[in-house]
Amino acid sequence: MTPHGGDAALPGPELGPFLKRVRYHGVQGILNATPSFQAAAGPDLAGAVSRMAMADAVHEEVHRTLLREVFDAFAAAEIPFLVLKGTAVAYLFHEDPAARPRCDTDLFVPEDRLSDAESCLASLGFQTSPVYAPVYQHTHAITRHGMSLEIDLHWRAANSEVISRAFEFDPMLADSQPVPRLHPAARAPSSADLLCFAIMHMALDQAHRSGARMIWLDDMALIARRLGEAGWASFLRGVEVRGLAGVARSSLNKVEAKFGGLVPQPVTATLNTLPNGALSDYLSASRTQRFRQELAIRPPADALRFLWQVVLPDRARLAAKYGAAPAWKVPWLYARRAVSGLRQWRLMR
């Protein structure tokens, strides 16, 4: 079974591994709302998936209430913001937003309003997680009704200077769209920008996981269904300007293989004429190559600061990785980290 149609053999009595994959791919809500899955799954599997989807629905209700409080505070402080990634897709393209599960909400604010946005979150009771430089986001967490809820507050689009320069706040805000089902003040990137962002993020996501998650492909399919001629034209412009054509071709080919008939032939033809692009080359590179690009794109002083933060992070980051340690042990932990990093670097070249 694949989301939104397509049959496959369903598992036998041993449900655990299958349910683990369902959770990994984030498709429990989609499967639960698919009649053909319910008919073929049998009561045990259908019931297990239904319980997973119900838990997501409860989480979504609490999370939505909290987000509306956050957006009320941002609106009162006149802080512009964009809702990114899964939450934007959930409220723009899903009939039931809980069908798009996610562990947090990503919000993008201008860097000069970051402190104001963080003050708003603090006033609502959010706690800031330790900051592990170099990053362009802070995680803010709160507990409501026994549930831990998180907001990733970005002042750049991603924890990468290369990517952030391709997805800057002001142009994305200028082309943004309202998200009225979430909040009157909520805005998200245009559908074309959301598709570009999803393509970029899936390429990064795959570097840390065993293959593409189905939910990312489903996000792209839902956006593609709604784009229309003008939207596809805007998407192609965004792909060309950002240097994203190579990764876009690969990602949309995967979407077509799963869902079929979503990408117009002229769009495919135009994509095939474009060079891969610098951002595609970055996303397809090894971690070592990407690190070198992150250094090269910065002015010398910023590059040295970035390198220092990576090689010699603060003690909070060491504690998060290795646990609390007395002062005498800290130099040994730095040495341990350096040896581990050198081994990884040799493997990644």
Q: What is the pLDDT of residue 348?
A: 41
Q: What is the pLDDT of residues 310-329, one digit of tens each?
A: 666 666 666 766 777 777 77
* Average pLDDT, integer, range 243-269: 94
82-84 vs 137-144, strand pairing mode: unpaired
Residue 223 lies in a domain: yes
137-144 vs 187-188, strand pairing mode: unpaired
Tokens read off for 309: 């933060």
Residue 300 lies in a domain: yes
Residue 338 lies in a domain: no
Domain count, the chain: 1
Q: What is the pLDDT of residue 1?
A: 35
* Average pLDDT, integer, range 116-131: 90
Residue 128 lies in a domain: no
* Average pLDDT, integer, range 268-294: 91
* Average pLDDT, integer, range 159-177: 95
Greater pLDDT, 20 or 314: 20
Instruction: Spell out the residues 6+ positions from residue 72 whose beta carbon is closer than 8 angstroms to its own.
Output: 183, 185
Q: How confident is the model at residue 5 (pLDDT cuts 50, 70, 90)?
A: very low
Helices and strands, counts by H and E, the chain: 18, 7
Q: How confident is the model at residue 334 (pLDDT cuts 50, 70, 90)?
A: confident
CB 79 within 8 A of CB 113: yes
Q: How confident is the model at residue 287 (pLDDT cuts 50, 70, 90)?
A: confident
Q: What is the pLDDT of residues 204-217, one digit of tens each?
A: 877 656 567 889 99
Domain with 199, as residue range(s), is 190-314
Residue 49 lies in a domain: no
Residue 131 lies in a domain: no
Residue 58 lies in a domain: no
Nearest to 337 by CA among 303, 311, 305: 311
Summary mean pLDDT of the chain: 86
Q: Whole-model pTM?
A: 0.85
Is residue 227 pLDDT above 80, yes or no? yes
Q: What is the pLDDT of residue 8?
A: 43
Residue 111 lies in a domain: no
